[in-house]
Amino acid sequence: MFRFTITSKDNVLLSYWERNAPLFEERYEALQYCYREGFKTSVSIEPCLDLPNVSALVSTISPFVTENIWIGIMKSVRLRVAVTTEEDKAMVTELLRAQSRDNVLRIYDALKDNEKILWKDSIKAIVEQQIKKGKR
């Protein structure tokens, strides 16, 4: 089985967060190739770099995924990312806004019935917290 890390379709985000890594198109082509050649395939969308658009990413990759699609958010952003430039500040601010509790719950609700989706602990914790509060 081949598991691909495809964290966004947005090459600007990929180029910033995953410097020197392949752009979306190359990862997507590799996924399609492995699928066509008969290999089992899986995708990890962790950390999800573009949570508001993850449903579109899932729709794009799903036809070529034979196993699971893992989705998770970046944990401990402020501890992991050195903010030394205005670009860093803007990217961290946007990432934190995008992976807010409300956005995570919105995406969870949109994709929870997709049989291929598996949720990483970072998302499970947010959903479980809402369940404990009686809001799910």
Query: Each residue of 4-48: pLDDT tens digit?
Result: 999 999 999 999 999 999 999 999 999 999 999 999 999 999 999
CB 73 within 8 A of CB 97: no
SS3 74: coil
Average of pLDDT values for 81-109? 95
Q: What pTM was computed for the model?
A: 0.91
Look at residue 91 in the predicted model and tell me its pLDDT: 96
Beta strands in 13-129 (DSSP E): 41-45, 69-71, 117-119
> Both tokens of residue 60?
């794009």
On average, the pLDDT of the chain sits at 95
Look at residue 135 in the predicted model and tell me its pLDDT: 67
Q: 125 or 131: which carries more pLDDT confidence? A: 125
d(C-alpha 102, C-alpha 108), whole Å = 10
Look at residue 114 in the predicted model and tell me its pLDDT: 97
Look at residue 136 in the predicted model and tell me its pLDDT: 59
d(C-alpha 59, C-alpha 66), whole Å = 14
- Close Cβ partners of 22 (under 8 Å, ≥ 6 residues apart): 30
| 107-128 pLDDT per residue, tens | 999 999 999 999 999 999 999 9
Look at residue 130 in the predicted model and tell me its pLDDT: 86
